[in-house]
């Protein structure tokens, strides 16, 4: 438990680094584009409290962040809870923002099942992840043995995530990839390479270091089926043949 807690602490520190801040700013721009059409009463952020800034422009005013290890940061909008066992009633949340939690949780399938459970019918989920098919993914394979965040996480591909969501009953509506700069932490170099963002979005969008995916919880409508004998009787009457009456 202590080692897992330290990993989350190191990840929180990484999001505060120059590279983490630049990455978060790029993700925020893409998340904000998805928000205007997503309405409701309750918005849940599963991830670091810093991701609350990405949903500040949401029309949903009640926003809460849940994180497994935020006891020292707990506030009215940041609570501590496991993502695979959400303390929330079923069908009670309109929008969930699952922000870079799946790569660092051992049972991501359970997290997605919990997301499906607590979402209302036709509710939405925004999921952000690191893209394994990118320069960042290649760098991860080179340094994964170092066990440093975020490179020690499981980078989940879009195709793999889509398969998981389809099995649960989600319809994927949109996928946007972003951040085309290499994983360097020097703030001056990051600024000088900002031109790669526009070029990457035009010429190699598939290889963005991160992606945000928007999906909707599918609701299956059951259509009542008439008894076959009732249907046959109406057909016979329509063509002028009296149905056989049973004793």
In this model, does residue 1 exceed pLDDT 50? no
In this model, does residue 28 exceed pLDDT 70? yes
Q: Residue 217, CB half-sphere, CA atoms under 13 Å: how many?
A: 23
Beta bridge partners of 66: 46, 79
Report the pLDDT averaged over residues 101-117: 94
In this model, does residue 201 exceed pLDDT 70? yes
Identify whether the C-beta of residue 188 lies closer than 8 Å to the C-beta of residue 19.
no
Residue-level pLDDT at 199? 87
CA distance 120 to 218: 10
Q: 125: helix, coil or strand? A: strand
Residue-level pLDDT at 160? 96
CA distance 48 to 17: 14
| Mean predicted lDDT score pLDDT of the chain | 87
More confidently predicted of 144 and 55: 55
Residue-level pLDDT at 126? 98
Q: Residue 211 belongs to what H/E stretch?
A: strand 210-217
Packing angle of the helix pair 158-168, 108-118 (nearest 10 deg): 50
60-74, 99-113, 142-156: range with lowest mean pLDDT:
60-74
Residue-level pLDDT at 59? 95
Beta bridge partners of 65: 45, 78
CA distance 43 to 45: 7
Query: What would the pLDDT profile of 224-247 be if each residue is shown by its tens digit?
Result: 565 555 555 554 455 555 555 555
Residue-level pLDDT at 237? 57
């Amino acid at each position: 438990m202590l080692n897992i807690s330290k990993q989350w602490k190191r990840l929180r520190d990484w999001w505060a680094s120059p590279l983490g801040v630049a990455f978060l700013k790029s993700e925020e721009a893409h998340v904000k584009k998805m928000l205007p059409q997503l309405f409701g009463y309750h918005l849940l952020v599963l991830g670091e409290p810093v991701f609350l800034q990405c949903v500040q422009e949401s029309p949903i005013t009640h926003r809460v962040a849940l994180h497994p290890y935020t006891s020292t940061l707990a506030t009215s909008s940041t609570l501590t809870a496991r993502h695979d066992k959400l303390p929330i009633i079923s069908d009670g949340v309109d929008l969930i923002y699952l922000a870079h939690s799946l790569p660092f949780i051992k049972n991501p399938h359970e997290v997605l099942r919990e997301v499906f459970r607590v979402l209302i019918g036709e509710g939405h989920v925004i999921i952000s992840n690191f893209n394994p098919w990118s320069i960042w993914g290649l760098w991860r394979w080179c340094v994964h043995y170092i066990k440093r965040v975020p490179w020690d996480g499981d980078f989940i591909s879009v195709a793999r995530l889509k398969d998981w969501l389809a099995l649960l009953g989600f319809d994927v509506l949109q996928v946007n990839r972003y951040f085309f700069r290499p994983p360097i932490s020097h703030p001056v170099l990051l600024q000088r390479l900002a031109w790669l963002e526009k070029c990457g979005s035009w010429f190699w969008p598939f290889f963005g270091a991160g992606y945000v995916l928007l999906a909707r919880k599918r609701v299956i409508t059951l259509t009542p089926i008439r008894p076959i004998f009732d249907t046959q009787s109406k057909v016979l009457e329509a063509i002028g043949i009296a149905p056989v009456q049973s004793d």
